[in-house]
Amino acid sequence: MNLDDFRRCTPAEFSVIYRFWLQHNERNVQNDWEQTRFLACCMLQPYSKKKLSPTDVCRFSWERKREQEAKKEVSTKERFEEIAKKWG
């Protein structure tokens, strides 16, 4: 962002821009770490008696968050009807 664009931004606009910039940088860092883990897995595979997956080498905190989000119960029509009956 050049200086003129920065000066024209409202605080709310700058906040949104900063949030997206931060997410972009986090994704780049995560991508770099995942590439490194993949290379480590490839280098360790010949010395392992079992087939390795990259997650066997190491797990990252952002993967744990994804797993927890995936475990959340998905809303279904039956679940909605059950809750509707319960709460009237």
Tens-digit pLDDT profile for residues 17-41: 999 999 999 999 999 999 999 999 9
Q: Which pLDDT value is given to residue 66?
A: 77
Q: What digits encode the pLDDT tens for the residues 1-22? A: 889 988 999 999 999 999 999 9
CA distance 56 to 47: 14
Q: Which residues, at least 6 apart from 43, have a Cβ–Cβ distance to it below 8 Å?
A: none
Mark 35-63 as b/e (b = at least 16 C-beta within 10 Å). eebeeebeeeeeeeeeeeebeebeeeeee
Q: Which pLDDT value is given to residue 81?
A: 86
pTM: 0.64
Element (H, E) at 17: helix 11-44
Give the mean model confidence (pLDDT) for residues 38-61: 93
Structure-block tokens of residue 62: 């952002």
CA distance 39 to 33: 10
Q: What is the mean pLDDT of the chain?
A: 89
